[in-house]
């Protein structure tokens, strides 16, 4: 029985205290050539695993689903959750490269990527993902003094690329994107007026419930949230560049009153409009 085939290597990394407290960091990495009996099953391992299949085929069981890991696929999982991955089928082999990582906003990134699409992606041949994993391998195999810092940047690149892929896959077949663009234009052109979801959906000729769901799905904001953000963005410009009073700015940007404006501004920015203005004077 040969679980690992010739050429397999793996390496552990113990990050510095600075890396663990500040950066994304590598915990282990490797390039595996696996025989038909290779399999891993575990949970409660405080790490995230990103792996890219170069040749052959693997299988992943995660969050109650089963996935085929064909050539050119990437999988990203939270290893605190129960999971299983293995060479897929008898007389098969599976070649893959991987990193185990953690730190910074890893958990939040992985949750967002999974929310959009799930743990498995097929990427193009010219994808930066395998190249970036190999770059990380080279940095540590070459004992680069700045490896921890460079790898923190590389991990961020990997997570960003997967998030972009997951967002693209989520929206590429959405034929109503032009409607949402129109809605955004309507909000940004009329934000200083009293406005409700009914007003926006009526202008678009849509059911407000359908519109609200679609808007949230495509932008990440509810229509009301986007309206508030648009108003706040404009108030910041006025606070920085004019001498208008807080009350004048509130009314000018569509808020009901100065007190309402101050309350919302502080909720979003953590400081009052006046303190924000003083920071720029």
Closest CA to 96 of 105, 87, 104: 87
Domain C-terminal end among 146, 171, 196: 171
Query: Which residues are CB-contacts of 30 (< 8 A; sequence separation ≥ 6)?
Result: 8, 9, 10, 11, 97, 98, 137
Do residues 110 and 80 touch, judged by C-beta distance below 8 A?
Answer: no
- Statement to judge: residues 56 and 147 lie in one domain: yes
- Statement to judge: residues 193 and 166 lie in one domain: no
Helix (H, G, I), strand (E, B) or coil at 50: strand
- Determine the pLDDT at residue 9: 96
- Statement to judge: residues 161 and 184 lie in one domain: no
In a domain, 3, yes or no: no
- Determine the pLDDT at residue 2: 56
Do residues 168 and 177 touch, judged by C-beta distance below 8 A?
Answer: no
Q: Where are the alpha helices (DSSP H) in the chain?
A: 17-22, 106-116, 128-141, 147-171, 177-190, 197-204, 208-219, 223-241, 246-252, 258-269, 273-279
Domain C-terminal end among 143, 171, 199: 171
In a domain, 2, yes or no: no
- Statement to judge: residues 167 and 182 lie in one domain: no
- Statement to judge: residues 152 and 20 lie in one domain: yes
Domain C-terminal end among 171, 200, 221: 171
- Determine the pLDDT at residue 182: 92
Q: Is the pLDDT of residue 155 over 80?
A: yes
- Statement to judge: residues 124 and 181 lie in one domain: no
Q: Which of 3-17, 89-103, 121-135, 156-170 has the lowest mean pLDDT?
A: 156-170
Q: What is the CATH number of the domain that holds 147?
A: 2.60.120.280
pLDDT, greater one: 205 or 48 = 48
CA distance 79 to 84: 10
Q: What is the CATH number of the domain that holds 201?
A: 1.10.10.60
- Determine the pLDDT at residue 116: 75
In a domain, 4, yes or no: no
pLDDT tens sequence across 31-88:
999 998 899 999 999 999 999 999 999 999 999 999 999 999 999 999 999 999 999 9
Count of domains observed in the chain? 2
Closest CA to 151 of 20, 266, 47: 20
In a domain, 99, yes or no: yes
pLDDT tens sequence across 251-265:
999 999 999 999 999
Q: Pseudo-torsion of CA 237, 240, 242, 248, nearest 10°?
A: 70
Q: What is the mean pLDDT of the chain?
A: 91
In a domain, 115, yes or no: yes
In a domain, 194, yes or no: yes
In a domain, 22, yes or no: yes
Helix (H, G, I), strand (E, B) or coil at 249: helix
- Determine the pLDDT at residue 174: 47
Q: What is the CA radius of gyration of the chain?
A: 25
Is this model's pTM higher than 0.85 or not?
no
The one-character DSSP state at 23 is: S
CA distance 78 to 110: 7
- Statement to judge: residues 165 and 196 lie in one domain: no
In a domain, 144, yes or no: yes
- Statement to judge: residues 25 and 140 lie in one domain: yes
- Determine the pLDDT at residue 1: 47
Closest CA to 95 of 33, 7, 147, 156: 33
Domain that holds residue 132: 9-171
- Statement to judge: residues 141 and 216 lie in one domain: no
pLDDT tens sequence across 104-151:
999 999 999 998 778 999 998 789 999 999 999 999 887 767 888 999
- Determine the pLDDT at residue 175: 46
Band of residue 169 on the pLDDT scale cut at 50, 70, 90: low
- Determine the pLDDT at residue 70: 95
* Share of residues in the chain with pLDDT > 70 (%): 95
- Statement to judge: residues 63 and 150 lie in one domain: yes
Query: Which residues are CB-contacts of 118 (< 8 A; sequence separation ≥ 6)?
Result: 65, 67
- Statement to judge: residues 27 and 123 lie in one domain: yes
Band of residue 170 on the pLDDT scale cut at 50, 70, 90: low
- Statement to judge: residues 39 and 152 lie in one domain: yes
């Amino acid at each position: 029985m040969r679980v690992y085939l010739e050429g397999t290597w793996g390496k552990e990394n113990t990050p510095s205290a600075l890396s663990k407290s500040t950066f994304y960091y590598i915990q282990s990495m490797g390039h595996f050539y696996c025989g038909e009996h290779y399999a891993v099953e575990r949970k409660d391992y405080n790490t995230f695993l990103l792996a890219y299949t170069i040749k052959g085929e693997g299988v992943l069981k995660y969050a109650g689903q089963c996935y085929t890991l064909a050539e050119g696929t990437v999988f990203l999982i939270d290893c605190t959750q129960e999971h299983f991955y293995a060479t897929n089928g008898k007389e098969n082999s599976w070649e893959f490269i991987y990193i185990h990582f953690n730190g910074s906003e890893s958990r939040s990134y992985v949750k967002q990527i999974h929310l959009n699409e799930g743990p498995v992606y097929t990427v193009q041949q010219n994808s930066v993902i395998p190249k970036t994993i190999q770059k990380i391998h080279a940095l540590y195999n070459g004992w680069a003094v700045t490896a921890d810092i460079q790898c923190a940047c590389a991990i961020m690149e990997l997570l960003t690329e997967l998030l972009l892929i997951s967002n693209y896959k989520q929206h590429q077949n959405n034929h109503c994107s032009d409607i949402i663009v129109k809605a955004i234009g309507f909000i940004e052109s009329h934000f200083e007026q009293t406005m409700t979801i009914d007003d926006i959906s009526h202008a678009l000729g849509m059911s407000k419930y359908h519109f609200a769901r679609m808007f949230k799905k495509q932008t990440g904001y509810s229509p009301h949230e986007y309206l508030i953000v648009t108003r706040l963005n404009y108030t910041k410009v006025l606070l920085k560049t004019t001498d208008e009073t807080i009350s004048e700015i509130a009314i000018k940007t569509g808020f009901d009153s100065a007190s309402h404006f101050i309350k919302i501004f502080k909720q979003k920015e953590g400081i009052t409009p006046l303190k924000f203005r003083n920071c720029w004077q």
